[in-house]
Amino acid sequence: MNKDYQIISLLKKGDEKTIQHFYKEHKSEFSRFASRYEMAKDEISDVYQDAFIALCENARKGKLDELNSSLKTYFFAIGKYMIFGKMKSEKPAVLNEELKDFQIEWETESDLEPDENVNLLRDNLKKLGGQCQQILTLFYYEEKKLDHITEIMKYENKDVAKSQKARCLKKLKELIKNQS
């Protein structure tokens, strides 16, 4: 930890040698760490640079004066949260694909005609509560973003809207599965 405080002190002062050394020292290990999140190399490089800038800014602002972990652990945590933020912003596309996969799977497993599938979907959607009907309609039919749905439905934040939507979609899938 003593070595970490020396590095923090030098980062605060903007010591170029320390900045370059720390940057180079952790880059390959961070890249290996981040690669488990299935990101492109250029995205990993961008996150690394952003995390490094945030680390240096936090050092200059004195936020690292009472560090409870090693500097490397703190730095990797910054990077991890940036990766999660990036993944979260890309998640709506993944969820739409998930719904399409469910729809394709459902249509191929179902003996019903396409119109009957639509009717089954519509009937089961009506069985959900008003809030579930509204959020699923806004997201999947009207293709509204979660930020917009959060405002419309007066949720506390985007994460609440996302969780509610996931719960409602799960309920809808269960209703359809039980009826098929």
pTM comes to 0.51
User: Largest Cα–Cα distance of the chain, in whole Å?
Assistant: 70
For residue 145, the SS3 value is coil
Does 17 have pLDDT greater than 90?
yes
DSSP-H helix ranges across 2-145: 2-13, 16-35, 41-60, 71-109, 114-127, 130-136
DSSP-H helix ranges across 61-113: 71-109
Does 145 have pLDDT greater than 50?
yes
Does 104 have pLDDT greater than 70?
no
Per-residue pLDDT of 24-65, as tens digits, reads 999 999 999 888 877 888 889 999 999 999 999 989 998 888
The domains of the chain, with CATH numbers, are: 2-86 (1.10.1740.10), 110-179 (1.20.140.160)
Per-residue pLDDT of 108-121, as tens digits, reads 444 444 456 667 77
**What percentage of the chain reaches a pLDDT higher than 70?**
82
